[in-house]
């Protein structure tokens, strides 16, 4: 399957990293994201498997593309409620297929978005100006050898551009993913080098410039989300936490805030909005008995933990947040399916 760093956004000039330039390579297709895709037998009613009661101040809803109700992940949400995600587990014969879901979130409102001639695609992030980001693969080998390649992309209304970091020392096969993008068209993600090390980077889409991002105190960083201030949320290994994976908030001025849920075995920051509200996932325990929970963090309020879909307690990931405080993510249900979730704050307007 595709490597999925999210469970797997202006440039931070204070980091003093070199700028890299590369000519853009565009590919155009006529049908992707051009019209709603209606699955056979689907109807235009809301795409809800169920709606759950309020938990921790949120109203949770399960939203699955019925082209594959067994596996959906919702990864980003814009201010109008448009959601980025994909279906398909990535197992051999069950490829990832990217989509956008337009509010009001009915089955007729899914728009396919896949890199031309790709075997697999994940749409991982979007901004409020019609720009989406993600990654694709030319193969669907599941967990077998050879391992699937991962190639980053940016898409604008059916036009696609390569977003791979221009390194001279890439992994083989390459691993590049763009995971978020802000309204200034600065995308953020990561790539792996030939030694298997992870490097966070930003991609200035308009200027065709790449910067490596190196948050202080973090090794092997992943850049997962970027807001319109240029603040980046992500995760990596912390030397001060005995090599544990922790989340981080890297502000544009270079200041780093470490996010590490007490008692967790690892914490990943995956989304951020313009108020520096950070969302993500943390794990308690290890191995088969490990549980995953969603969290939010705000500069004034700190951590809110155990933010789980009621149908997926202990198996929930929160992946994205918009300025209205709406959350998207996914959970594993009692049947072992992966379901997309939308969480609306109880005290705010719901779509």
Task: Collect all residues with Cβ–Cβ distance below 8 Å to 270 and sequence separation of at least 6.
Answer: 6, 7, 179, 224, 225, 233, 235, 279, 280, 281, 317, 318, 319, 320
User: Is residue 286 a contact partner of residue 277, using CB atoms and an 8 Å limit?
Assistant: no
Residue 122: the pLDDT is 98
Residue 242: the pLDDT is 85
Task: Measure the CA–CA gap between 282 and 303, rounded to whole angstroms.
Answer: 12
Q: Does any domain span residue 8?
A: no
- Distance (Å, rounded) from C-alpha 42 to C-alpha 61? 19
Q: Are 74 and 320 in contact (CB under 8 A)?
A: yes
Bridge partner list, 304: 296
Token readout for 48 is 């809800």
Q: Which residue range(s) make up the domain with 255?
A: 13-345
CATH of the domain at 147: 2.120.10.30
Question: Does residue 119 lie in a domain region?
Answer: yes
**Ordered per-residue pLDDT tens for the chain, 351 residues:** 565 444 433 222 223 333 444 434 333 322 222 222 222 222 222 233 345 555 579 999 999 999 999 999 999 999 999 999 999 999 999 999 999 999 999 999 999 999 999 999 999 999 999 999 999 999 999 888 899 999 999 999 889 999 999 999 999 999 999 999 999 999 999 999 999 999 999 999 999 999 999 999 999 999 999 999 999 999 999 988 789 999 999 999 999 999 999 999 999 999 999 999 999 999 999 999 999 999 999 999 999 999 999 999 999 999 999 999 999 999 999 999 999 999 999 975 444
Tell me the whole-structure pTM to 2 decimals.
0.86
Establish if 351 belongs to a structural domain.
Answer: no
Token pair listed for 184 = 């200034």
Distance CA 116, CA 98 (A): 12
**Which has the closest alpha carbon to 100: 324, 350, 337, 340?**
340
Identify whether 56 is part of a domain: yes
Q: Is residue 215 part of a domain?
A: yes
* Sheet strands (E) in 78-158: 83-87, 97-101, 110-112, 120-126, 131-137, 151-156
Q: What are the counts of helices (DSSP H) followed by strands (DSSP E) for the chain?
A: 0, 27
Domain assignment of residue 7, yes or no: no
Report, in angstroms and rounded to the nearest whole number, the Rg of the chain calculated over CA atoms: 18
**In this structure, is residue 271 part of a structural domain?**
yes
The tally of CA atoms less than 13 A away on the side-chain side of residue 195 is: 4
Tell the residue number behind the tokens 């719901």, with chain if given.
Answer: 350
- The rounded distance, in Å, linking the Cα atoms of 180 and 186 is 8
Structural domain count, the chain? 1
* Within-domain flag for 78: yes
d(CA 95, CA 2): 9
């Amino acid at each position: 399957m595709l490597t999925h760093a999210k469970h797997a956004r202006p440039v931070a000039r204070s980091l003093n990293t070199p700028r890299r330039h590369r000519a853009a390579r565009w590919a155009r297709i006529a049908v992707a994201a051009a019209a709603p895709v209606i699955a056979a037998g689907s109807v235009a009613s809301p795409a809800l498997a169920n709606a759950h009661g309020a938990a921790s101040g949120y109203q949770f809803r399960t939203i699955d593309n019925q082209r594959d109700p067994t596996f959906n992940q919702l990864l980003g949400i814009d201010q109008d409620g448009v959601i980025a995600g994909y279906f398909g587990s990535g197992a051999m014969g069950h490829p990832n297929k990217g989509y956008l879901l337009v509010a009001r979130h009915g089955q007729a409102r899914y728009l396919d978005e896949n890199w031309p001639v790709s075997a697999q695609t994940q749409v991982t992030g979007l901004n409020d100006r019609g720009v989406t980001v993600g990654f694709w693969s030319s193969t669907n080998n599941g967990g077998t050898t050879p391992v699937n390649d991962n190639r980053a992309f940016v898409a604008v209304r059916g036009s696609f551009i390569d977003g791979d970091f221009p390194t001279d020392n890439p992994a083989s096969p390459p691993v590049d993913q763009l995971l978020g993008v802000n309204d200034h068209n600065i995308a953020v993600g990561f790539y792996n080098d030939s030694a298997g090390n992870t490097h966070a980077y930003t991609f200035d889409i308009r200027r065709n410039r790449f910067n490596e991002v190196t948050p202080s105190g973090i090794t092997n960083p992943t850049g997962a989300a970027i807001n319109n201030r240029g603040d980046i949320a992500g995760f990596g290994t912390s030397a001060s936490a005995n090599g544990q994976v922790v989340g981080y908030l890297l502000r544009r001025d270079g200041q780093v805030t470490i996010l590490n849920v007490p008692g967790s075995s690892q914490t990943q920051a995956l989304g951020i909005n313009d108020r520096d509200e950070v969302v993500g996932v943390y794990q308690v325990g290890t191995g088969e008995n490990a549980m995953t929970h969603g969290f939010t963090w705000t500069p004034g309020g700190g951590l809110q933990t155990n933010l789980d879909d009621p149908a997926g307690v202990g198996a929930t990931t929160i992946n994205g947040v918009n300025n209205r405080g709406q959350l998207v993510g996914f959970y594993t249900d009692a049947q072992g399916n992966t379901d997309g979730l939308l969480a609306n704050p109880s005290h705010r307007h719901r779509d």
